[in-house]
Amino acid sequence: MNSRKHVFTTVALALLVALAGCSAFVGTPTDDGDDDSPEGKEIKADAVNQMQSVHAYNYSMVTVVEFSDNELRTESSGTVNISAQRMAATNVVTAVRTNSTQTRSFSEAYIFGEQQCLFIDDEWSQSDVDRSPWRANATLGAQQEILNNSETTLRNGTLNGQDVYVIEVRPNQEAIQQLVGNDTGNVDFGEVTYRQYIDKDSKNLLQSTMNATYVVNGRAANLSVKMSFSDYNTTHEIELPRAAGGKNRPCAGMNGTAGSNRVVALA
């Protein structure tokens, strides 16, 4: 897994994690433009309460980076147990296409607390996490301030036949850089659009999408990310495979790692 993939996956997740965690808190005008409408306030309050009550869920994610005739596409799925501070991406497929070649690679990732176990290039390895998913709520105030200064709208819509509320956020350049910090390196973002799709009945977040244009080292590129969420609060046990966490295996030290604090979902 090359460094460029790490950079853009980190950027995508940083934006999705931060925005998903607080976009429902900010002023989101309804279709008639009334920021303080009773309906808008009720929708935001219900969505926030649902997010705060989540302790487990499953997800799927597709990230695509395109520049010139090249494409980097990563598809993954997994499960998150927030109460135990454990998450697993058990099916990660990365496809790289250039104007002359195509390659595919397969990997897995587990995070227990602040430790991660990665299966890359046919090898398991354990290391500290670069960005803790369990600390997303720690900067909620800063994220809320960022989004209050962004263009945000709320409208009615549908997703796979379901009636949903669509929250759309268009953060400005300053907000983006503050949000992702130094993870982007020599990257200048252009237009960024982020959307949340919230089920009208359950108020659960069903899907998050992001589309962005940017310039890296003088080259224009496009980034798109889609994350879907399901099985809220259906707890699945997350354990390391024997090849990774068995006796004398590379990640054996993670077997006793688990979180003890209740935290807010990363999405």
Distance of alpha carbon 121 from alpha carbon 49, whole angstroms: 41
Kindly indicate the confidence band of residue 23, based on its pLDDT and cuts at 50, 70 and 90.
very low
Q: Domain range spanning residue 177?
A: 3-254
User: Which strands sit side by side in the sheet containing 187-199, from one edge to the other?
Assistant: 123-128, 115-120, 102-112, 86-97, 70-81, 56-67, 219-230, 205-216, 187-199, 162-170, 151-159
pLDDT on residue 242: 94
Sign of CA dihedral 185, 7, 263, 25: positive
- Listed in sequence order, the DSSP H helices in the chain are 3-22, 38-53, 140-148, 173-180, 242-245
Report the alpha-carbon distance of residue 108 to residue 5 in Å, rounded: 15
Q: What's the pLDDT tens digit per position in 60-94?
A: 889 898 988 899 998 989 888 888 889 898 888 98
Q: What would the pLDDT profile of 96-123 be if each residue is shown by its tens digit? A: 999 899 999 999 999 998 899 999 889 9
Using CA atoms of 259, 245, 109, 4 in order, give the dihedral in degrees to the nearest 10.
Answer: 110
pLDDT at residue 221 in the model? 87
Return the higher-pLDDT residue of 168 and 33: 168
Average pLDDT, the chain: 75
pLDDT in the model for residue 198: 87
Rounded to an integer, the average pLDDT of 186-215 is 84
145 lies in a domain?
yes
pLDDT exceeds 60 at position 22: no
In a domain? residue 10? yes
Residue 22 phi/psi, 5-degree rounding, is: -145, 0
Q: Which is nearest to 203 in space by CA: 17, 27, 29, 44?
A: 44
State the pLDDT confidence band at 250, using cuts at 50, 70 and 90: very high
Give the per-residue pLDDT at 152: 74
Residue 54: per-residue pLDDT: 78
With contact defined as beta carbons under 8 Å apart, do 227 and 56 qualify? no
Examine the pLDDT at 208 and tell me if it is beyond 80. yes
Place of tokens 């290391």: 127
Greatest mean pLDDT among 52-56, 57-61, 128-132: 57-61
- DSSP string spanning 194-223? EEEEEETTT--EEEEEEEEEEEETTEEEEE
Tally of domains in the chain: 1
| 133-164 confidence digits (pLDDT tens) | 776 544 444 455 555 566 778 889 999 999 99
Sign of the alpha-carbon dihedral angle for 156, 164, 56, 224:
negative
Which residue stretches of 68-194 are H helix?
140-148, 173-180
260 lies in a domain? no
Flag whether 39 is in a domain.
yes
CATH number for position 196:
2.50.20.20
| CB-CB neighbours of 103 under 10 Å | 9
The structure's pTM equals 0.77
